[in-house]
Amino acid sequence: MAIEIKVPQLPESVADATLVTWHKQVGQSVTRDENLADLETDKVVLEVPAPVNGVLKELRITAGTSVTSGQVLAVLEEGAAAAAAPAPAAKLAASVAPAAAPAPAAAKAAAPANDKLAPSVRRMVEEKQLDPAKIPATGKDGRITKGDVVEYLDKPAAAKAPAAPSAPVSGAAGRQDQRVPMTRLRARIAQRLLEAQQTQAQLTTFNEVDLKAVMDLRAKYKDVFEKKHGVKLGFMSFFVKAAIEALKKFPVVNASVEGSDIVYHEYYDIGVAVSTEKGLMVPVLRDADLQSMADIEKNIGLYATKAREGKITIDELTGGTFSITNGGTFGSLLSTPIVNMPQSAILGMHATKERPVVVNGEIVVRPMMYVAMSYDHRIIDGREAVQFLVAIKDALEDPARLLLSV
């Protein structure tokens, strides 16, 4: 029975998608729920799973083509088995001499095919337009790891390509450029960042936070917290809770601009930025004020995993009222984050460094973090922005405030 493989129903906010790559070709067997192709929208990469076991009979759409909801991508023959016809070259070799079995070492060193790569590795290989056969594999059973790809990319070009006859090179004739088109997601990120700067009157205010109290509290309870809740106690849940308390005191920071109106949101959907291979994504913690710290840590971990595996949905990335981004994970000491429109403000966390500070008239060494808040000056005044950041500082330097909501 022939079954049509169609583009999944796209959200209302997404008009079309781009078929990035096929993971199966005509004649290959597929199993139910196996990913056949990747569709890239402006926000996420969607997978097209096989509805049944069978053999891919026909591809209707080529990679790089724009598609819409319900459009037929391919035809799958249910229940059929892939024909295993030997190649002509194999027949010729068999007639000349018995085929020699490959040596174990050679078999292990053979590079895996594209459909055997881990999803994250496959995306790196396809984005960089690499040949997996040329990448030395160090993973289990001769598989290519992300580290193998990164190491291969870091090698000089001469070390990647086979030696070619040398030719005299003079001046700039030997220099080359590599031109790679932006992915649809990267182009959309670039467009939204530029739009945010052109539309909003963005300004950034800074402060610093002494994290000793938070670190002491975390060190005291992290083991029992993980044992009880099954998740590690990180720092992000403290910042989310502190941001919510500050948002309650300064509702305009949780608002957004629609035309000539200010929309005050009476709920707290907090976006937490996650870095992925394809760019920055901001999953949203719905009703974060109703979530416990354990819930926040679990949901952040879940969303981060889904985002990096390309399985996060558009609904999970839309509708936030305020965002938090942590450049400190990459070593950033200070930055000016860009507001995630249509929101009006974003909190930037940074690296925690021990620095000498004055406490009660004495110089002591404390774990300090610079925090930044970029905001839309059209509706948020400087006074409100500064006081909002001070409220976050106060809550983090005295975590009991988060329990007492004071």
- Phi/psi at 225 (5° precision): -65, -50
CATH number at residue 247: 3.30.559.10
Residue 168 has pLDDT above 80, yes or no: no
Last residue of a domain, one of 78, 96, 127: 78
49-63 mean pLDDT: 90
Residue 109 has pLDDT above 70, yes or no: no
Could you tell me if 111 and 67 lie in one domain? no
Could you tell me if 65 and 114 lie in one domain? no
Q: Is 377 annotated as catalytic?
A: yes
pLDDT digits (tens, 9 = 90+) for 276-321: 877 788 999 999 999 999 999 999 999 999 988 878 888 898 889 9
d(CA 104, CA 93): 21
| pLDDT score for 107 | 39
Range of the domain at 26: 2-78
Provide the whole-model pTM: 0.65
**Pairing outcome for strands 322-326 and 345-349:** parallel
Neighbours of 95 (CB within 10 A): 7
| pLDDT score for 95 | 38
Residues in CB range of 243: below 8 A, 6 or more apart = 270, 322, 324, 347, 392
How is residue 159 written in tokens? 């070390």
d(CA 149, CA 132): 9
Could you tell me if 273 and 326 lie in one domain? yes
Residue 322 has pLDDT above 90, yes or no: yes
Establish if 264 belongs to a structural domain: yes
Establish if 198 belongs to a structural domain: no
Could you tell me if 384 and 312 lie in one domain? yes
Could you tell me if 209 and 349 lie in one domain? yes
- Phi/psi at 35 (5° precision): -70, 120
The secondary structure of the chain, three-state, reads CEEEEECCCCCCCCCCEEEEEECCCCCCEECCCCEEEEEECCCCEEEEECCCCEEEEEECCCCCCEECCCCEEEEEEECCCCCCCCCHHHHHHHHHCCCCCCCHHHHHHCCCCHHHCCHHHHHHHHHCCCCHHHCCCCCHHHCCCHHHHHHHHHCCHHHHCCCCCCCCCCHHHHCCCCCCCCCHHHHHHHHHHHHHHHHCCEEEEEEEEECHHHHHHHHHHHHHHHHHHCCCCCCHHHHHHHHHHHHHHCHHHHEEEECCEEEECCCCCEEECEEECCEEECCEECCHHHCCHHHHHHHHHHHHHHHHCCCCCCHHHCCCCEEEEEHHHHCCCCCCCCCCCCECEEEEECCEEEEEEEECCEEEEEEEEEEEEEEECCCCCHHHHHHHHHHHHHHHHCCHHHHHCC
* Count of structural domains within the chain: 3
- From 95-104, 119-128, 364-373, the region with the lowest mean pLDDT: 95-104
Could you tell me if 139 and 227 lie in one domain? no
Establish if 118 belongs to a structural domain: yes
Establish if 211 belongs to a structural domain: yes
CATH number at residue 58: 2.40.50.100
Could you tell me if 112 and 68 lie in one domain? no
Could you tell me if 6 and 133 lie in one domain? no
Could you tell me if 370 and 318 lie in one domain? yes
Active-site choice (295, 377, 394, 398): 377
Last residue of a domain, one of 78, 96, 126: 78
Mean of pLDDT over the chain:
83
Band of pLDDT at residue 343, cut at 50, 70 and 90:
very high
Establish if 176 belongs to a structural domain: no
Could you tell me if 287 and 390 lie in one domain? yes
Could you tell me if 250 and 144 lie in one domain? no
Band of pLDDT at residue 87, cut at 50, 70 and 90:
very low
Active-site choice (115, 287, 315, 381): 381
Could you tell me if 50 and 125 lie in one domain? no
CATH number at residue 150: 4.10.320.10
| pLDDT score for 333 | 94
d(CA 77, CA 128): 33
Q: Is 131 annotated as catalytic?
A: no
